Structure 1
Amino acid sequence: MNFVDKTVLITGAASGIGNAIAKNFAKLSANLSLLDINKDNLYKVAEECENLSKITVIKFVIDVSNDTELKQAVNETVKELNKIDVLINCAGILSSVNITDSDILEVYDKVLRVNLRSVIAATHFAAPALIESKGCIVNISSVMSKLVCERAIPYNVSKAGITHLTKCVALELAKYGVRVNCIAPGIVRTNILENNGYSKERRQEIEKSCLNKNLIKQIIKAEEIAELAAYLASNKAVSITGTEFVIDCGMTIFSQHCNLN
């Protein structure tokens, strides 16, 4: 696979899965438009991508939940790089809140604006360019869209929304030659828990709990998600659209199994 002369726009590109996706596309010679709210990390990732290949990298320090900022970044991408071939919606935040907590509605609104509404907005703003290029979209969901866990209503609902949104947009854009898929990872070794204020002890507890539920006893590498995203965006996947790809070391199977012995 290579993406020479292709333009890939990635939200949430400064860390974790988005970081790995950006670097992988850089290795595959794609020109990049990188969006994130974290300026220092974003500039660092952009420099690393530029050092990996002879490509053009532009960057936008924005809040994806701000429609004006997001629309401007998309429009500037088309202006500077002439087109958008691939949209990767990867921006996301976590939350820890219970349905009985006084701030549940405030937290819900914040998480949904970043995790779900920004995906709709980015897709809407980029749609004309993607239709022109007959491009594709890869959304990053989560196995939490399928599982139930405590104190995670906003996050789980947002990821379930992404999964269904993927199918809806795939239906609407198919007639224009645009493909839309999503990836639902299990626990991935990134800094998302640390970035969202989880203590070292709590992060270790979560990792141990997830490992116990994984049929394959390991933590997923962000690079695995990046490679799958590149495949779905490539001409090797021209017959794939409206599909969710689960990469979770068997966590969802474990959660659904029963022992009849």
Structure 2
Amino acid sequence: MPEKTPCPPHPVLPAYYRDGGERVAFVRSIFDRTAQYYDRINSIFSLGSGKWYRRLMLRTAGLRPGQKVLDVATGTGLVAQEAAAITSPTHIIGLDMSPGMLLECRRKLPIQVVLADAQNLPIADCCMDMLSMGYALRHVRDLNATFTEYLRVLKPGGHVLILEIGRARSPLVQGFLHLYLGRIVPFLSGVTTSQESRTLMAYYWDTIEHCIPPDQILDNLKRAGFSSVRKQTSFGVFHAYIGEK
């Protein structure tokens, strides 16, 4: 079977790295340097809405008690924490490419953690009931390679849940997002935590601004082999991509 053409989630962003080869090192470094502040930053840009939304989407995607979950790009464990409340901490594996983020995750959650990249999961075939990813799809190198790995580790009948934020169709809402996420949040992050946090949130916004459209993400999930692929959108910008193996 011929290899699929690589599909990066957004073009090279020269303000942060010079080419695609430098992307991984930059992403790992910026998350390592801001890991201790990340939960505080998240509380600024989510306005307290994140916790209930993550748990609702996990249930919507099909997570049930007793099921095994691989939470990719787990960060400080914000999605894993809600998954553990539905199933059990012993049924969760948190995976991330940032050692700093995994350290913060282990401080608050008694789950197994793995240092690895989303495109190369050190997980056996067909062993997970659900694979989740919260607001990190924009940081992978290639959607096609990533989704192929996701399909591989899921059991038949297992589900993938990818939470993302995207551009708003309404110019008014997009203008508000640009002001809030593009200007206010980076400024507040820098003032209340560190300059690195300001850089992280500026990068966060730029990846949203330049990310490929939702329809292309859905198409890539289908091409990888997922069925019953769908998207649930809340407030015009929060997207939950769901698929089944």
More strand by share: 2
Give the alignment's TM-score, normalised by structure 2. 0.46
Give the alignment's TM-score, normalised by structure 1. 0.44
